[in-house]
Amino acid sequence: MKSVYSGYARIETDGAAYFAGANTADGFRGIYDEIADETVLERVYVIKGGAGTGKSTLIRKVAEAAAKAGWTAELYFCGSDPYSLDCAVLDGRIAVLDGTAPHVRELTYPGAASSLIDVTRFWDAAVLETCRDDILAHCHAKSDGWASAYRYLRAAAAVNEERSALSGTVFDRAKAEAYFARRKKEIGKPKPEESGRTVLRYTRAVTMRGRYYLPTFERLAETVYAVSDAFGCAALFLDRLAGVLAAAGYDTVVSRLPVTGHTDGIFLPAHRIAFVTAETDADARRLNMSRFVTEEIPEGFRGQMRLAAKIGESCMEEAESALARAAEAHFALEEIYRSAMDFPALGRYTKKICAEITERLKK
């Protein structure tokens, strides 16, 4: 039986990497305000420009310059295009992010806590004016593709909620609670610096190029528990585990499935422990969810689960088809904007930005 965790291709990266947002049943959900909070960070650089104008490359160059100088760079990929960077947080102090649609971000405290990086200064507006009709047509086609995709994602979410309801009829909560108690004892007490804080980070995304997964929790953890998905119970198990750990005072980083919103991974940074649902190459402790399934399975249950899984997967595939149509229009837009850009001038400007940020990091 196909799982809701199936079909996600792995992206291998170094260090901490997440998606800065996700396409959900309720539209695009970004976490930009959480990862680039001007009241917390020393500085936030917001980039403005169009598709294909070099924003992602600029972010990558800044991150590479910071890493080369010895600072950590936490990367956030685009939830709609996994080959594109949307944000980098450097040494936990400075963020550089893409502030254009669909994740529009303005400067909250301009000058005081944030700076504008305007790459539109490097395009030839006259070239873009001659392409007006094509730009408008591609934008409308892209918008239509997104609208269709979100309708199918809403349908997939509704079907998967029915599947979760079915899973609830066979999920042995008492056994799960006993396991949670044992696991807390094994982990030990929360460390003094922990307060039960939960941070949301996306490690999965349904994008214009398909479904993708970042195995960040596995890379950061020393101990990994790989949770199987017997009868769809993994989501119920991890949802409850996330709540139990937070209530016990552990700091957690939680990843949620973009469509259903259910937990698909948990990381305890202070203890270097992760619970993940993906098939992993890490030296993981396998946790078979069959042990948390009731002995008696209701009549007709398996057939209902198979039907829900089939319908849900069909909705996901149609959403991906719609996103592929949006991608065609998006990449056509990128080509138009690239043709109007002065990339050598942008490259020189990028070097200045890299130098400015590395100087800030030295302070």
Two structure tokens written together for 275: 């619970």
Q: How confident is the model at residue 121 (pLDDT cuts 50, 70, 90)?
A: very high
The DSSP H or E segment spanning 282 is none
| Extended beta strands in the chain, E state | 9-10, 17-19, 21-24, 27-30, 43-48, 73-77, 85-90, 94-98, 114-118, 198-200, 204-207, 210-213, 223-227, 252-256, 263-268, 273-276, 284-287
- Classify 232 in phi/psi space as left (phi over 0), alpha (psi -120 to 50) or beta: left
CA proximity to 142, closest of 9, 332, 351? 332
Average pLDDT, the chain: 94
pLDDT (tens digit per residue) in 272-316: 999 998 676 667 888 999 999 999 999 999 999 999 999 999 999
Q: Tell me the pLDDT tens digit for each residue of 255-265.
A: 999 999 999 99
Taking only the tens place, the pLDDT of each residue in 74-88 is 999 999 999 999 999
pLDDT score of 37 more than 80? yes
Per-residue pLDDT for 13 more than 90? no
Q: What is the pLDDT of residue 230?
A: 85
Asked whether residue 350 carries a pLDDT value surpassing 90, the answer given is yes
Which residue type does 187 have? I
Kindly give the interhelix angle for 234-247 and 173-187, rounded to the nearest 10 degrees.
50
Specify the range with the lowest mean pLDDT, choosing from 1-5, 186-190, 195-199, 348-352: 1-5
The domain segmentation of the chain, as residue ranges, is 12-123+342-362, 170-297
pTM of the model: 0.94
Position 281 scores a pLDDT of: 67
User: Mean pLDDT throughout 59-67?
Assistant: 96
CB atoms within 10 A of CB 169: 12
% the chain with pLDDT above 70: 98
- The predicted model gives 7-29 an average pLDDT of 91
User: What's residue 103's pLDDT?
Assistant: 82
**Average pLDDT for 188-210:** 96
Which pLDDT score is estimated for 148?
98
Residue 206 clears pLDDT 90, i.e. is over it: yes
**pLDDT band, residue 3 (cuts 50/70/90):** confident
Q: How many CA atoms lie within 13 A of 264 on its CB side?
A: 23
pLDDT at 223 over 80: yes
Q: What is the mean pLDDT of residues 87-113?
A: 93
